[in-house]
Structure 1
Amino acid sequence: MHLTDCREPTAPYFEPEEFAGRLATVRAKMRDLGVDTLLVSSPENIFWLTGLDHWGYFAPHLLVVPAEGELVLATRAMERVTIAHQVRNARFEGHADHETVADAALRVLRADCGTIGLEAWSSGLPHGLAQQLKHSLHARDWLDVQGLIDDLRMVKSPAEQALMRAAARVSDAGMTAAIDAVAEGASERDVAACAQQAMTAAGGTFPGFGPFIRSTRRLGEEHTTWRGDRFAAGDSVFLELTGCVARYHAPLGRLIHVGAIAPESRAMADLAATAFAAATDAMREGTRFRDVYAAWQAQVDRAGLAHYQRHHCGYLVGIGFPPSWTGGNKVTGLRRDSDVVLRAGMSFHVLSWLMGTRRGDFFVSNTVLLGPSGPEVLNRAPGGVMLR
């Protein structure tokens, strides 16, 4: 990996040996499934295998992974220079704008490709592209291999973990600046400007989601962000953001109060902190995701809020491209019904979210990296009750 204390990371971010190891694990899975050719279309998975980091993923890409031999990365011809600079382990095949990426892929694929694996739920695979591929290629069989690479990405290598820590430092800079910008009469837009400037100055790049900044009238809007609304005394200000370093994200969230906080919300802040600690304490290698959620819910139940339940108390996080920091269009959550097993090297955005309880509102969230000896909370920005 190129990241050092004095040098900004540059794509492809990892040493050739790391990419070779990732490819070897993918090909082992292909052998297990009987897949002769894998067509990778998810931006996060193409990045993980090749290191390609750009805004060009708005147009479809296909990474052709044969059972053996060279990889081929197909997309628009105009991306040739970027891919030449960033990608060391795949040959580029460009298509003109009157063609599609399927035309480029067909130029390098045999007419009979054996069994082809396709990421059927990838955001990078439009229906028309999938139809064109299936119509043009004579495959023995087509297999939906959605999740094959995503599952491998769950556990971060030491080099990836270093990038997660770097992203957390950028996140902390952004959150600290955002908190400092909250004041009576200031606007959501003011807070956004301060947060984004601080993250950029701290070494961050564009994240999968921009900062979520909302005040009292819009607290319940899950995925909207700043407007020009100005804060008044008594308002609550929701802040959730992430720094991004080399496509790795470390989100955190805080709820700030302007001037005063209601006693019931102060009590909820104590519960949010207690429940967050319970969830992280439960994070041990070999534990199931459902057990982490149960540890969080147990604290909520003990406080007399058994009626209040969440769809999860956190989710896997790491690589992300717009429009999300969740690693793609799937959220792998710490849910009450999940039998996924925690492993060292996994990283999570852990949320202790107590909003709409009818007994006050509060929430806090941080990125947590699971190590061999237990959880490490990566974020260090101020938490708890904050009055501005």
Structure 2
Amino acid sequence: MRGKFAAFSEEEHRARLQQARRLLKEQGIDHCISMAPESLFYYGGYDSWVSVNSPQALIFSADEGEPTIILRDTDLSLAYESSWVKDIRSYRLMFDDIPGIFAGIAREKGLRGGKVAIETQSYAVPHAFGLALARALEPAEIVDATVLMGMPRLIKSPAEMAYLRKAATYAQAGLDAARQALKPGISEIALAAEIENAMRRAGSDYWSIPTELAGGERSAGGHGTPRDRIIERGDLVHFEFAGVAARYHATAIHTMAAGEPSKRAREVYEVGRQSLAAGIKAIHPGANVTDIEEASLEPVRAAGLGDAAVMRFGYGIGVAYPPIWLEPLQISRGSNQIMEVGMVFVLHAYLQLVDEQLGIIQGGTYALTENGVEMLIGGGDVALEVV
């Protein structure tokens, strides 16, 4: 049973852990209590979503030594079937002192004071638990390691790329289903059902964000989830959903029209399409993310719609658990990150005209390869699709 459903080799996981250790040492940090489920999977191979209600952690030192996974006893078999880590321990919820157990394991590994890295921005570390853990770790100082632990995930290995390409095939099944099912008279919920059913039938794992789908007067809602609204002839309908393979997400983003739309809808869509194309053109190894977003905004500003572009242009994607699928890469003004070969990211040109009850979003999931920018899945830079 041990490792029967492991997604990667032990060697790949150990290499990732060594990278994390190097980063910790560079920051003068001696120990790590990693609680974000993305990190538990990426470094420890442990596949489980239950951090939302049952604290779990991968605990290790910056020096050599075996890591420890600590989790709720209910989930022992999940670690056995997916993780390479040999030292797996458990606690009983509602009975055991969980912060004390976490701190005790860290002390076994040499913690006496100094700094302890924890992803304090993760939803897996709720405020009350974080306070209790801080007390249990005293006099050690907790240092936020959300970005430190997440940055190594930005450059994908060949094995990771294989999962992302498989995830893209699942998302493609969903996009194909959307094209077949979108028509006047269908409800948004029924349309979402066709998409989700197609992805599951194709083999997709569960996704970390609900299917986003909004049409007609709801299309200005960028993160709108489907309602029982009936789609009408001429409605613009935008979609955002992900196929998932071994927790690696590939997101399809597309706007389509259910019959011939209004002239204004076509105009707004075309501006969004030009924005997406301009942003993609600015992406290359060494490009600054601020310059990329600025390039994507040039067509929007030229059309007098600068105030309607309210989303970041892009973000990194890969391993994910609910409630998000974003990685630390931010393709946006306000960030100073540099693009590198091996990065995988979502791009979206989004325009929101609330007063006109009109919005579009166009893009998809892309990889920066040695040959340039490759779209893995999505609508991409295409003329408005009318079905």
TM-score normalized with structure 2 length: 0.90
- The yes-or-no answer on 1:66 pairing with 2:64 is no
Match of 1:338 in 2: 335
| 3-state secondary structure, aligned to 2:353 | coil
- The yes-or-no answer on 1:173 pairing with 2:170 is no
The whole-number CA distance in structure 2 between the counterparts of 1:27 and 1:144 is 15
The whole-number CA distance in structure 2 between the counterparts of 1:144 and 1:336 is 23
Tell me which amino acid in the other structure corresponds to 1:126.
P
Match of 2:247 in 1: 247
Q: Where do residues 30-49 of structure 1 align in structure 2 (5 Å cutoff)?
A: 30-49=24-43
The whole-number CA distance in structure 1 between the counterparts of 2:353 and 2:86 is 50
Per-residue deviation, 1:384: 3.4
Q: Where do residues 1-388 of structure 1 align in structure 2 (5 Å cutoff)?
A: 11-58=5-52, 59-67=54-62, 68-97=64-93, 98-110=95-107, 112-115=111-114, 116-327=116-327, 332-356=329-353, 361-379=359-377, 384-388=383-387
Question: In the alignment, is the contact (CA less than 8 A) between 2:34 and 2:40 conserved in 1?
Answer: yes
Identity %, equivalent residues: 26
Question: In the alignment, is the contact (CA less than 8 A) between 1:11 and 1:52 conserved in 2?
Answer: no
Per-residue deviation, 1:332: 4.0
The whole-number CA distance in structure 2 between the counterparts of 1:384 and 1:18 is 42
Per-residue deviation, 1:14: 0.9
CA 1:31 to 1:90, structure 2 compared with 1: closer, same or farther past 3 Å? farther
| 3-state secondary structure, aligned to 1:19 | helix
The whole-number CA distance in structure 2 between the counterparts of 1:75 and 1:45 is 14
The whole-number CA distance in structure 2 between the counterparts of 1:355 and 1:138 is 48
| 3-state secondary structure, aligned to 2:29 | coil
Per-residue deviation, 1:381: 5.6
The whole-number CA distance in structure 2 between the counterparts of 1:307 and 1:122 is 31
Unaligned runs of 5+ in 2: none
Tell me which amino acid in the other structure corresponds to 1:208.
S
The whole-number CA distance in structure 2 between the counterparts of 1:224 and 1:363 is 12
The whole-number CA distance in structure 1 between the counterparts of 2:50 and 2:333 is 37
Unaligned runs of 5+ in 1: 1-8
* Structure 1 residue runs of 4 or more that deviate by more than 4 Å after TM superposition: 357-361, 380-383
Tell me which amino acid in the other structure corresponds to 1:201.
R
Question: What count of residue pairs does the alignment treat as equivalent?
Answer: 377
Question: In the alignment, is the contact (CA less than 8 A) between 2:309 and 2:351 conserved in 1?
Answer: no
Deviations 1:255-290 (A, max 9, x none): 222222111222333332222122112111111001
| 3-state secondary structure, aligned to 2:122 | coil
TM-score normalized with structure 1 length: 0.90
Per-residue deviation, 1:85: 1.2
Per-residue deviation, 1:107: 4.1
More displaced stretch, 146-155 vs 304-313: 304-313
